[in-house]
């Protein structure tokens, strides 16, 4: 209790077979990571994998990412629903430039992350606050709504 298991993975690595990809999908469904970042392999000059045989077509890599993310969406939604009504610590990263549809009347909206979220990979916490906050602030946030990958909440006084 109180921990989240997270991982990041790459799909479409050269020579990745349909069987290997299915094993990966089965593994993700079995483990049910609370947080998962998935990326498409990109061929980068100067890397050892650049000249590997079996480079996969962009369409196949994209389809595989879609499969992974659609499976993860269900898992993430369930994991986030467990936070509804609870109070969590959130690190504020920035003020939200387009606060709709998350803003409450008279409140500013900030983007933050919980202890379970890797920066620039996992979801965010949309934080409503009556007082001005700054990046680096830690605040207690009551979760009032959940999304597929994100949480929405209000700063507690």
**DSSP per-residue codes, 62-123:** HHHHHHHHHHHHHHHHHHHHTTTT-EEEEEEEEE-SS-TTTPPTT-EEEEEE-TT--TTTS-
pLDDT, residue 103, reads: 72
pLDDT, residue 37, reads: 92
Position 102 pLDDT exceeds 80 = no
Mean pLDDT of 107-116: 93
pLDDT, residue 125, reads: 96
Which long-range contacts link 92-95 to residues 24+ away (Cβ below 8 Å)?
A: 92/127, 92/133, 92/134, 92/135, 92/136, 92/137, 92/138, 92/139, 93/119, 93/124, 93/135, 94/135, 95/133
Position 101 pLDDT exceeds 90 = no
138 pairs with which residues across the strands? 91
User: Are 122 and 143 contacting, i.e. CB atoms less than 8 angstroms apart?
Assistant: no
Phi and psi (nearest 5°) for 83?
-85, -15
* Prediction pTM value: 0.82
> In the block, which residue shows the tokens 């890599």?
61
pLDDT, residue 144, reads: 96
d(CA 110, CA 125): 8
pLDDT digits (tens, 9 = 90+) for 1-43: 788 899 999 999 999 999 999 999 999 999 999 999 999 999 9
């Amino acid at each position: 209790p109180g921990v989240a298991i997270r991982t990041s993975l790459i799909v479409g690595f050269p020579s990745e077979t349909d069987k290997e990809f299915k094993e990966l999908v089965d593994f993700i469904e079995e483990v049910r990571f609370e947080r998962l970042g998935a990326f498409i392999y990109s061929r980068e000059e100067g890397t050892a994998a650049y000249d590997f045989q079996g480079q996969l077509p962009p369409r196949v890599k994209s389809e595989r990412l879609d499969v992974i993310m659609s499976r993860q969406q269900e898992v993430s939604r369930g994991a986030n629903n467990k936070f509804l009504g609870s109070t969590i610590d959130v690190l504020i990263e920035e003020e939200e430039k387009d606060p709709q549809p998350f803003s409450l009347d008279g409140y500013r909206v900030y983007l933050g992350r919980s202890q379970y979220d890797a920066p620039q990979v996992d979801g965010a916490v949309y934080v409503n606050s009556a007082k001005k906050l700054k990046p680096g602030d830690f605040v207690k946030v009551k979760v009032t709504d959940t999304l597929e990958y994100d949480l929405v909440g209000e700063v507690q006084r």
